[in-house]
Structure 1
């Protein structure tokens, strides 16, 4: 903007008109400009700035402006107005940083909401493609030959598969999988992107890729994989700021993926370890019907201190061994002890013909254990003889089993003995029972009879109520008996606290199938209710 010695505007450009909205040729500077600029002009034409250019500064509207005065020979002054764009630039940068911080927070919330590795990876790829690039690919750590690959475009579906690939095909990927620093996109030729790293529907040809950056996904103590970001040729290349933000993004994603993978490994280890602790699924063995039911004391748990097991005989004429027991304690620790007892019993099954010997050997094994657990249990050996099932029953400090006769009469098996795992000298009394067709022998833990509930909420269920329930089960199959007992007990305790509860029914079927029939029980386990037939 040029102003003469009398303060009249002689000329101006379009940018000056934007800054000074009222400026016009012939207008007085004092009327169209702020006071500080008019005063600076008076100083210049008055000779204060003679011999050298002079700067002045002040505010015009919402902008901070510097004004440079360049006098000419005619006494006029050319004013160069330099707007200070720093505040606006800072505001824009602050807005960008806030958006990035919001994205990182959103990413963290979404990723940490899922502990499934595949779902977590899909979320990371989708967010990266949506906010960082036109397409994103996550390559997980593999076995050296194959690697899990997850791909996604901005608006396309997520594809996951395992691919046989060479990380060295893409510059920076091998380094990223080792956790080494990011290779700048300026050093990566997009033409080197292998076909497996291009999501379906992204481009028609690898040559259409304009920019690519590979970022490591850091985990907890070890790298979790690499993130590949792709942009089309029409889009702008990645800037240094965008690459830095991609590293922050990858750090959040890698942390979440590391947590998910750790949880997955722990869940798998727990499942493997707990598999042998679950009650077995029972069925028909050599013409004898077996059915079991279990409910842990802790809601949501599948195992506890009560247990039952079945060891089928090799031939119909040999005795099948069944056991139901209760170790001291509750929860997973008690379940581990119960698992040890079951393993010991499995090793002692060859001695099952002599109950006293088997229980004595088990007692010695438990006494020599570091945990020295004590256990109450009922040991039963069963064999079918024509239409009947002959049982030999020994109790080691456990509630005696109950027999449900076809007439509805309920009898207690006359057996007792010393609990195992406490005393060196133990004694047992073995009882023999014959089951006619339609009759059942029920083994149960004290969690059944000691369950508290009912209308008043704190009444013990007791053996009399159990006998009454069993009397109504006369002639029912073994599966129906265990289901009926479990249902009544569940109604009795409601949502109240209770101990571990286990039942095992052994029944002589009403059919006349020959005793040579052999349908071994399925040794697989079920998650909650191992009752046969369910």
Structure 2
């Protein structure tokens, strides 16, 4: 519009600025900046106080230390028309239009700015409603499956571990389970989505007096508790803390009670406070059913006094040992928020001394993606363990996804390695997954053609397949698109240097090859938040 020099949008929680997006006349390319910085009263003063209304200010009257004001000043704006709107979870947004003078802020500009604000409010309500519906659907399905597993087995350690593998990425970022013993509350299991924060969470669970006091309050009251923002002060969590605890926005604690007895507590950590509110009833149900299963198992196993549960993620804890092969794997989390990726991999030993490797990726992030990741990996593994062919396993997974009625698709790659004289015979089947690579012993790298249809989209699908020989010293490299789509600051994709990276990182020890390749991707990546999964198998050189 005539006279408009800059448009700035900001998103807030009280005085905490989350991000800023701007476009100026001098720089028409949209700019996006993340802050997560608390500006106190200066920031909170702009929060909406009712229905959206347009106000006009002189830029000189505004706080020049605020990032949005700095953008307007740099653009040469002297006046600004502003409209603030409330958002879900207590947040709010501000839309500011900087103009050369007040005369440019006419009735048309005011109307359009207010329309933008109203569209934002409606969009936010729809997003929140859809998110709540998705979370409810996933929570109901998850709770039903957890109950079936607990009822079907008296081995509580095993069943709770299975539940936790999905619960930690699907519901919260971290989890701690304490049991009440003669000496008091004892942490028996802790898990975090980020492996780097696992040790920290374990120390907090065992030693932190603030958390211990909170847990005892829950035990004494018999009621669940949710703490957020300033309620986290004094403990190892929240913005005022240091290290990994700064990312925690909310904490929920539920008592474990069964047959009138207090057994312990179930604690979840959240990076997004609204997730704790939405999951409170679900977690209370989960805690009650888990407590009943623990108590019931004690009647059959007197020696089993606690449950070791809560695995970090939906990946195998370790890879099998296969004669003649060295397997290595790596997983790098791209976005430590509520929004998880769907990468997975596994290795299933074969009856003929070989192994079947599988790797896949569920479209998108979040609770539904995490639930489908578990479905995909366990469906493929179970069928392959039962001796079904890769084509049959992929077809059954496609049918299962179709029954779920999800809008998400899945890519998958299955590779079978069977001993064949010197080396292994490799046969592979691809369902829309990135093509694997073979690093030969001399350092050359070959791409194995792989196409195929995506899973969960069509009723009848075709697979890309092929075969080759893996000689001693050769390495099969399988990966997800987080590797190829990692982008440097200059916009270059890692795919352009993938072969060279495989050649270089594959020159070292076989056992750490996958980790070295994943580290190379992380060092290269400047933008993008997709998870990275790498699975490699090197044929050992003998004699």
| TM-score above 0.5, yes or no | no
- TM-score with structure 2 setting the length: 0.44
- Higher Cα radius of gyration: 1
Higher helix share: 2
Please give the TM-score of this superposition, normalised by the length of structure 1: 0.45
